[in-house]
Amino acid sequence: MTRSTIELPVTADDYRIARYAAAAIALTVAEAALPSPLPGIKPGLANIIVLVVLARYGWRDAAWVSLLRVVAGSLVIGQFLAPGFFLALSGALCSLSVLALAQHLPPRLFGPVSASVLAAFAHIGGQIALARAWLVPHDAVFYLLPLFATAALVFGTINGLVAARLLAIPVATPVPDTALLKAGQ
């Protein structure tokens, strides 16, 4: 086989983002297997990863991981460009924009739980807004809002606690990115 002549430069950032995105996609796929009492109500476990990445590496990395998760996750599940994909995308975009603001909250008073709950509310807000505008053009969708809001509060709190706990544990042996770069070649 002829060796490829195309060289795509891969940075340490790319490896790190890909690793976290892979973890988020794995959680998305695992979650898709869980039964749900109502379509749209899901624990959103992949958001734990987004919160950890946000706290460790900043908003840009978190946005990459979140959007890669939505696109690649939907490809794996077979939902790409289906209505569920657009709902997930609009939820992810809304929660990312809220997280962009929430990361400026004073860290002395607010931890990952606040960010998680705010992002969860933004997520259902984005989904319901898109559903109202496109899928169910009737105000009846807002009848579901209390249920979605309750789920967002519960799962947002739990995910935030898990993320806070993971962030509270110091990373024992940080993987040197240069070593990974060599291993990847």
Partner 1 sequence: MKGTVPDGLRELLAQAAGDGHVPWRTLLKPGDWLLLLAAAVSVAASYPLLWRGGVADRAIVKRDGQLVTELALNLPRKYEVTGAIGTTVIEVQPGRARVVSDPGPRQYCVQQGWLTRANAVAICAPNHVTLQLSGRGGPNGYDTLNY
Which residues in this chain contact partner 1 in the complex, by CB under 8 A?
19-27, 48-49, 52, 105-106, 108-114, 117-118, 121, 140, 142-143, 145-146, 149-150, 153, 157, 160-162, 164-166, 168-169, 171, 175
CB of 160 to partner 1, least distance (A): 8
| Separation CA 79–CA 17 (nearest Å) | 23
The token pair that represents 138 in the structure block: 């009737």
The amino acid occupying position 4 is S
Contacts (Cβ under 8 Å, ≥6 apart) of 100: 59
- Nearest CB to partner 1, comparing residues 18 and 100: 18
- Nearest CB to partner 1, comparing residues 100 and 158: 158
CB of 149 to partner 1, least distance (A): 5
Strand, coil or helix: 108: coil
CB of 17 to partner 1, least distance (A): 10
* DSSP letter, residue 141: G
